[in-house]
Structure 1
Amino acid sequence: MITHLKGKLVEKNPTYVIIECGGVGYFVNISLHTFSKLEDVENIQLFTHLQVKEDSHTLFGFSERSEREIFRLLLSVSGIGSSTARTMLSSLSPIQIRDAIASGDVPSIQAIKGIGAKTAQRVILDLKDKVLKIYDIDEVSTISNNTNKEEALSALEVLGFARKQAEKAVDKVLSQDTSLSVEDIIKYTLKNL
């Protein structure tokens, strides 16, 4: 199996690149995430996944090992093919997908074009335990706390508070109790502002 390619960048497009290695040009499918990470330099390295089918061999390239790992996890889900997995990685970063799976965030995954409610639920059901184990995430509450913090900050900004000021106050509240709901974070923060 081809694990990575290192060579001259011949052509760069949002959906694919052509890399010349040892006189051979490789057509490599990429996500928008990888495209955004690729610098306009002559020589590049991509971590790869080779998909072998009866009628084709398709090469996928990733700027980071973590993106390739998420891609392979997504492929293990029934109903998720390589084009859907690539679309998912083009819509959300690997970390956002990992966090959405670990926290059971169906709406975030469902927001990706072509992903319905049942598919989003299947992705979470099939991958949640694997993601928690692979990335050694002990508590899903840590991820949901970050989401609660962001929601609380957004609400405070809508109320007219400056982001930095609100963030300091929210951090102070969360330093005392990390299990607060969004409403409680806002309520206690307003008392400190």
Structure 2
Amino acid sequence: MFEYIKGELADLTPTSAIIENNGIGYFIHISLNTYSQLSGHKTVQLYLHQVVREDAHMLYGFIDTREREIFRHLISVSGVGVNTARVMLSSLSPSEIQTAILSNNAKTLQGVKGIGAKSAQRIIIELKDKLGKESEILEISLPQDNTNKEEALSALVMLGFAKNAAYKVVDKIYTANPTSSVEDLIKLALKQL
């Protein structure tokens, strides 16, 4: 129902923020990731996810839409509630969660309080395909840092190469030659793929 809220930061704790907007203070549950990025700001904007239960209406706030999407994916998994998802986002960054899921790294997920072996496996099984498709779309359409490495990776994915395989090859080439142009990275990667 709500997309985002923008206003004055009236109060901030590691687990919540109160944002004043038009004379109303909204209590919003946040992760440590969002908390660390809000510290020191007066005017803020948080992307929202509303949870309506019989006994409460709660707002969860996120610094960006990517964090909110990971949260929404996590709560779609059977046995993962809003508090568990928030703890996960407080322990790991959204990209760390996505990487752990895509690489079948259950141990990373189990490092989060409240996530056991079965829960970690369930999260990986249920979200691997969803996050894999999303990340390929994001890599193709939005190179994140617009670096030569990211552009080369996007080009290889658009050419039809598997993202994970292309990433490993490009990363290895880029590590050996950080001054390589996009064209050089692609040419060298094509020889190895």
Q: Distance in 2 between matches of 1:121 and 1:51?
A: 25
Amino acid at match of 1:139: K
Q: Distance in 2 between matches of 1:141 and 1:48?
A: 35
The residue matched to 2:136 in structure 1 has which SS?
coil
The residue matched to 1:133 in structure 2 has which SS?
helix
Distance verdict in 2 for CA 1:80–1:39, change over 3 Å: same
Q: Tell me how far 1:107 sits from its aligned partner.
A: 1.0
CA RMSD of aligned residues (A): 2.6
Equivalent of 1:140 in 164, 167, 176: 164
Amino acid at match of 1:69: E
Structure 1 length-normalised TM: 0.74
- Any stretches of 5+ residues in structure 2 without a counterpart? 138-161, 178-187
Amino acid at match of 1:106: A
Q: Deviations over 1:96-150 (max 9, x none)?
A: 111111111111111111110000000000000000112227433456x49x97x
Q: Deviations over 1:2-51 (max 9, x none)?
A: 11000010001100000001111000000000011114122110001000
Who is 2:30 aligned against? 30
Amino acid at match of 2:78: S
Contact 2:136 2:163 in 1 (8 A): no
Structure 2 length-normalised TM: 0.74
Q: Distance in 2 between matches of 1:117 and 1:178?
A: 36
Q: Does 1:96 align with 2:96?
A: yes
Who is 2:156 aligned against? none
Number of matched residues? 159
Q: Distance in 1 between matches of 2:134 and 2:51?
A: 23
Q: Does 1:109 align with 2:133?
A: no
Matched-pair identity in %: 47
Q: Does 1:68 align with 2:68?
A: yes
Who is 1:163 aligned against? none
Structure with the greater alpha carbon radius of gyration: 1
* Structure 1 segments of 4+ aligned residues over 2 angstroms from their partners: 137-143, 175-179
Amino acid at match of 2:36: S
Q: Distance in 2 between matches of 1:168 and 1:9?
A: 45
Who is 1:183 aligned against? none
- Any stretches of 5+ residues in structure 1 without a counterpart? 150-166, 170-174, 180-193
Q: Tell me how far 1:178 sits from its aligned partner.
A: 6.9
